[in-house]
């Protein structure tokens, strides 16, 4: 079997729908994120047939997620996860979904028509650090060895990628709007044990978005500390109807400057963000979220336009520092040294 390498990344960020609509009162409960999780990468296979480009079947697609970015004077580039299986999206398996709200450098390894192909894409989270901005990768296949009528590959019983249990954002209120606040640590409690949450996106030596566990169902309490004050919130995480993965909960931990020392925080308010953090803005509702099948046939090149005035942030992925509750054997094992259960 010959080996070929192809790097053709053609897509831009996919349309991200279902962002929370604007709040109208300070007393409202604020959801950090809304909408369905998004594919990290959509991979499509095609071959040249005369002047036409025709889709072809891939027999296997696997991927590996590498962390990107880093923090000064520290190495937060973890060993990449073990190879995970991608999900076939159509009857002929010409399109595949790689990852689910996973950010970082995604290495893709595929087999199609008797040849092996590799590709790569860098995936970032959206400006609210809620969901992945879907990238598209097109792989051109040598069609001479492709079957005329490929049979459908049996679908997976369950998508192999674990789902986050709780997506956490820490924010502070400024008059009638909220702004994200970087913190050094978020932790969570589950089944009587305490673990560190995993940083999804951050800057300098702090983090702006966190994941508390993967595929952990049941009561989970997430906490952070800001200006010597601990803020916590408890949620109940349920399984999806197919019993494969959890239905991710989204939590915003609201912090304040009470208890802060003089000069410990910058009292100047940040620029006003767009929805959903602005509690008084009136906007038209966004279209409903789109499923993976809708993403296959059409590319969106226009990014969402409701969060243009958010502060641009350097993005990186921080490695898990405690047990994450992963149930899938293809994912990297948890690091028991990151557990906080022995701390008093």
What's residue 71's pLDDT? 39
Residue 303: inside a domain, yes or no?
no
**Do 188 and 323 fall into the same domain?**
yes
- For residue 308, whether the previous peptide bond is cis, meaning omega lies within 30 degrees of 0, is no
Residue-wise pLDDT tens digits, 246-261: 899 999 999 887 767 6
CB contact burial 122-161 (16+ within 10 A = b; e otherwise): ebbbbbbbbbbbbbbbbbbbbbeebeeebeeeeeeeebbb
Residue 243: inside a domain, yes or no?
yes
**Do 233 and 330 fall into the same domain?**
yes
When pLDDT is cut at 50, 70 and 90, the band that residue 138 belongs to is very high
Measured CA to CA, the distance from residue 84 to residue 82 in angstroms comes to: 6
Residue 296: inside a domain, yes or no?
no
Residue 292: inside a domain, yes or no?
no
Residue 151: inside a domain, yes or no?
no
CATH number at residue 238: 2.60.40.10
Taking a C-beta distance cutoff of 8 angstroms, is the pair 208, 314 a contact?
A: no
Residue-wise pLDDT tens digits, 153-196: 334 457 777 889 999 999 888 777 788 888 888 999 998 888 98
When pLDDT is cut at 50, 70 and 90, the band that residue 267 belongs to is low
**Do 168 and 254 fall into the same domain?**
yes
**Do 196 and 121 fall into the same domain?**
no
Residue 334: inside a domain, yes or no?
yes
Is the predicted pLDDT of residue 9 greater than 70, yes or no? no
Which of residues 98, 115, 145 is at a domain's end? Answer: 145
Whole-angstrom CA distances from 205 to 36, 70, 74, 194, 209 are 29, 9, 9, 22, 13
**Do 73 and 207 fall into the same domain?**
no
Three-class DSSP labels, 234-299:
EEEECECCCCCCECCEEEEEEECCCCCCCCCCCCCCCCCCCCCCECCCCCCCCCCCCCHHHHHCCC
**Do 275 and 231 fall into the same domain?**
yes
Residue 130: inside a domain, yes or no?
yes
Measured CA to CA, the distance from residue 49 to residue 67 in angstroms comes to: 38
When pLDDT is cut at 50, 70 and 90, the band that residue 101 belongs to is confident
Q: Tokens 């999806």 appear where? A: 240
Out of 105-114, 129-138, 260-269, least confident range: 260-269
Taking a C-beta distance cutoff of 8 angstroms, is the pair 237, 220 a contact?
A: yes
Residue 97: inside a domain, yes or no?
yes
Residue-wise pLDDT tens digits, 28-80: 344 557 777 889 999 999 888 777 778 888 889 999 988 765 433 333 344 55
Range of the domain at 49: 3-23+38-145
Tokens of 295: 């993403």
Measured CA to CA, the distance from residue 284 to residue 22 in angstroms comes to: 9
Which of residues 88, 115, 145 is at a domain's end? Answer: 145
What are the backbone angles phi and psi of residue 223, rounded to the nearest 5°?
A: -145, 155
**Do 126 and 272 fall into the same domain?**
no
When divided into structural domains, the chain yields a total of 2
> For residue 150, which of 62, 52, 45 has the smallest C-alpha distance?
45
Q: What percent of the chain shows pLDDT beyond 90? A: 19
Length of the chain: 344
Angle at 140 between CA 144 and CA 151, to 5 degrees: 60
**Do 278 and 329 fall into the same domain?**
yes
Taking a C-beta distance cutoff of 8 angstroms, is the pair 273, 127 a contact?
A: no
pTM for the predicted model, two decimal places? 0.41
Angle at 306 between CA 268 and CA 130, to 5 degrees: 80
**Do 197 and 129 fall into the same domain?**
no
**Do 73 and 14 fall into the same domain?**
yes
Return the CA Rg of the chain: 21
Which of residues 145, 178, 205 is at a domain's end? Answer: 145
- Find all residues with CB under 8 Å of 110, minimum gap 6, and list them: 43, 45, 58, 60, 61, 62, 96, 116, 117, 118, 119, 139
**Do 101 and 224 fall into the same domain?**
no
**Do 7 and 117 fall into the same domain?**
yes
Tokens of 101: 């709200």
CATH number at residue 90: 2.60.40
């Amino acid at each position: 079997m010959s080996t070929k390498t192809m790097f053709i990344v053609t897509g831009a960020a996919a349309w991200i729908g279902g962002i929370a609509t604007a709040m109208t009162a300070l007393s409202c409960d604020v959801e950090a994120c809304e909408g369905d999780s998004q594919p990290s990468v959509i991979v499509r296979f095609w071959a040249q047939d005369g002047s036409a480009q025709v889709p072809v079947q891939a027999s296997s697609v696997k991927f590996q997620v590498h962390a990107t970015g880093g923090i000064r004077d520290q190495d937060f580039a973890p060993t990449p996860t073990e190879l995970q299986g991608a999900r076939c999206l159509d009857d002929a398996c010409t399109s595949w979904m790689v990852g689910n709200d996973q950010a970082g450098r995604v290495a893709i390894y595929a087999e199609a028509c008797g040849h092996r192909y590799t590709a790569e894409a860098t995936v970032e989270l959206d400006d609210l650090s809620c969901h992945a901005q879907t990238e598209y990768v097109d792989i051109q296949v040598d069609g001479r060895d492709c079957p005329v009528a490929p049979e459908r590959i049996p679908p997976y019983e369950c998508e192999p990628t674990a789902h986050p249990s709780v997506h956490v954002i820490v924010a502070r209120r400024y008059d009638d709007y909220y702004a994200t606040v970087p913190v050094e640590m978020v932790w969570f409690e589950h089944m009587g044990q305490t673990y560190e949450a995993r940083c999804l996106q951050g800057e300098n030596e702090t983090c702006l978005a966190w994941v508390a566990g993967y595929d952990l169902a049941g009561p989970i309490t997430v906490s952070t500390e800001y200006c010597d004050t601990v803020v916590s919130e408890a949620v109940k995480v349920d399984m999806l109807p197919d019993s494969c993965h959890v239905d991710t909960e989204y939590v915003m931990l609201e912090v304040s400057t009470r208890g802060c020392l003089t000069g410990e925080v910058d009292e100047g308010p940040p620029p006003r963000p767009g929805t959903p953090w602005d509690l008084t803005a009136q906007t038209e509702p966004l279209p409903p979220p789109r499923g993976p099948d809708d993403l296959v046939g059409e590319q969106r090149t226009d990014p969402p336009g409701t969060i243009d005035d958010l502060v641009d942030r350097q993005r990186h992925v921080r490695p898990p520092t405690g047990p994450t509750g992963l149930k899938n054997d293809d994912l990297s094992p948890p690091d028991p040294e990151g557990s906080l259960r022995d701390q008093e």
